[in-house]
Structure 1
Amino acid sequence: MRADRLVATLLFLQSRGRVTVAEVAAELEISERTARRDLEALSTAGIPVYSQRGRGGGWSLVGGARTDLTGLTAEEIRSLFLRAGSATATPQLRTALRKLVRALPAPLRSDAEAAARAHIVDATDWTRADATAAAPQLDALRRAVVDGHQVRLGYAGPGKPASVRTVHPLGLAFKAGNEYLVADTEGGLRTFRLSRVLTAEPTGAPVTRPEGFDLPAVWRSLAARLEDRMLAATVRARAEPGTLAILERLFEGRLRIGEKLPDGWSEVTVDGPTAEVVAGQLAAFGARIEVLDPPQARERLARLAVELARVYGAPDSVP
């Protein structure tokens, strides 16, 4: 326990430049007698700590000296640099990582530098040409979250015209290759997908945070609500064996493969926002998939068949 306290005392001293015994005692919630003993122990251990008596005095590091002590273990350092690899970090994060490397004890520096080069996160969807379109808004929203300023947000939801509203930015979340703003609005807490943010203008007015707000808990609740809407309908179908691998890649966790049928085909179920949307996605497989239910999914496919025949013409014969 005393070793931890000495480390905390040294870091507090380093961050403040000069401290009094009373300040150390208040910061670490110990007695002034214990604080004085700890400061003296640091000096005795060879750390360049000295005291100055009189008005304006206190304890300081000699010449403003700084320690390379970070309190991080080797495993913690590797984990940090792996997760924040310099190959994908923002310029600000790369600068912070370089400073942290210089602050690390020499035996740990090479480990940290190797870890930074060993990991890359590519959030770009293979089907998207540009995943950086929201970068200017992302920077503005990050500043608004950190500074606690309300924002006039220009936003275009899916299938909706663009609109402008004032929101209280509370946090940012990254999920499945997309970044989201969590904000309080007149209609309550909600999420905004950053790729749909058109403008983000800080108003200067302070953010009002809901009492007891906890970002991870709120995000889990909002994400669960969104996922419920995205998986509100289930379509049952029978699929040709050669389609199963493609279906698994296309629908991932939304697909469930059932038992094999006597004709060699397999029964499958697919979840989606509506039965009509799932039917439209399955239409690309043509006769290799037969939708069984619900009826509205079959009706959607029948309408699509009529529309496509009207555009492209019905073939005279089917091979």
Structure 2
Amino acid sequence: MRADRLVAALLFLQARGRVTAAELAAELEVSERTARRDLEALAVSGIPVYPQRGRGGGWRLVGGARTDLTGLTSPEVRALFLAASSSAASAELRSALRKLRRAVPEPLRADAEAASRARIVDDLDWSRSAVVAGGAHHTALERAVLVGARIRLGHTRPGGEPRERTVDPLGLVLKAGHWYLVAGTEQGLRSYRVSRVTSVEPTGEPVRRPAGFDLADAWRTLVARFEDRLLAAGVRALAEPDALPVLQRLFDGRLSVGRTAADGRCEVAVAGPSVEVLAAQLAGLGALVEVVEPRSAREHLARLGRELTARYAEPLRAASAREVAA
């Protein structure tokens, strides 16, 4: 009989006060017979655990007997449960922390509950980046999430001016090497890249948490919105066979390859946030790719060609003419 299972049984009983063998079996993921033997072993070892028959019966920890097996401080409890609150944590660690959450002293239990739902790691990586970018305000945001404090958030987007708004910080998510704050706003749930946060100022008001809020569910909703925007436009083209490896690297899962045309080129389709962005990306492959539709993509490429010619080709021709004249 494993000592660690007996400890888990004692902590579960301590947290509940009374349990049935069936409840303990479900908690420890063992048979009901094994759970009953564990309870009997605790009683034999001198711990005041007694069975009670009849309605409302079960096994009780008698006389207010308690044991503190943690000795943890509040910061340690938060750090421990933050470590196990992500999908990167092993199933065994998450299971152990779930049991420990019931056993920590009552004054620390709120910290454990808050930390266990404060952040997640999204393993599906948009960019396959290994860099974890937190930013100067990561600690302040994490604290705001843990204590449930509404904040005045300063945030900037690329090429934009910093803006401030009052938000309810609900959780932190690590995705593609970047941390994101999931927050409630007047316009609904929003996400903010933490590395672009410019200021964090507590308002002194408590967070308004939506009923039944779950960080993982909220993040899936936000990701779905983002990916819808990411795939909002499409472009069809004819590509030389030599261009296919480059296109696959460039567009990853956003490239579809169709049949081979009579001239040996392949029909391809790519998806992206806008026709202009897709056209600019395809322009880098030069004559290896010919955009077929939409017409707006062809027009954008023609415009890019004229601008590049004006910037590079004409000055080069002028310089060559001067060299010949000299």
Indicate the TM-score class for this superposition, using the shorter chain for normalisation.
Answer: 0.5 to 0.7
Conserved? CA contact 1:9–1:24, under 8 Å: no
AA of the residue aligned to 2:17: V
Specify which of 48, 58, 64 is matched with residue 64 of structure 2: 58
Aligned position for 2:224:
224
Conserved? CA contact 1:49–1:60, under 8 Å: no
- How far the C-alpha of 1:155 sits from its partner, in A, is 0.7
RMSD value over aligned CA atoms? 4.1
Distance 2:175 2:183 in 1: 16
Aligned position for 2:52:
none
Distance 1:127 1:80 in 2: 21
2:47 pairs with 1:49: yes
- How far the C-alpha of 1:266 sits from its partner, in A, is 0.8
Q: 1:219 to 1:40 in 2, by over 3 A?
A: closer
| Structure 2: runs of 5+ lacking an equivalent | 24-35, 50-61, 71-83, 101-122, 318-326
- How far the C-alpha of 1:164 sits from its partner, in A, is 1.1
Specify which of 21, 24, 48 is matched with residue 17 of structure 2: 24
AA of the residue aligned to 1:192: Y
Conserved? CA contact 1:6–1:38, under 8 Å: no
Conserved? CA contact 2:173–2:180, under 8 Å: yes
AA of the residue aligned to 2:312: Y
Aligned position for 2:302:
302
Conserved? CA contact 2:236–2:291, under 8 Å: yes
AA of the residue aligned to 2:47: V
Identity of aligned residues (%): 48
Q: Which moved more, 1:169-178 or 1:282-291?
A: 169-178
Conserved? CA contact 1:171–1:182, under 8 Å: yes
- How far the C-alpha of 1:159 sits from its partner, in A, is 3.5
Distance 2:128 2:17 in 1: 54
TM-score (norm 2): 0.63
- How far the C-alpha of 1:178 sits from its partner, in A, is 2.9
Aligned position for 2:234:
234
Aligned position for 2:76:
none
- How far the C-alpha of 1:147 sits from its partner, in A, is 1.2
Distance 2:127 2:233 in 1: 25
Distance 1:65 1:215 in 2: 30
Q: C-alpha deviations, 1:272-305, integer Å up to 9, x for none? A: 1110110011111111111111111111111111
Q: C-alpha deviations, 1:3-44, integer Å up to 9, x for none? A: xx9766501467x7xxxxxx71289999xxxxxx99983444
| Residue correspondence of structure 1 range 1-319 to structure 2 within 5 A | 9-12=9-12, 24-25=17-18, 41-46=40-45, 49=47, 58-60=64-66, 83-84=88-89, 131=131, 134-314=134-314
Q: Which moved more, 1:196-205 or 1:237-246?
A: 196-205
Distance 1:145 1:38 in 2: 42
TM-score (norm 1): 0.65
Question: Size of the alignment, in residue pairs?
Answer: 247
SS in 1 for 2:137: helix
Query: Which protein, 1 or 2, shows the higher relative CO under an 8 Å CA cutoff with sep ≥ 6?
Result: 2
- How far the C-alpha of 1:310 sits from its partner, in A, is 0.7
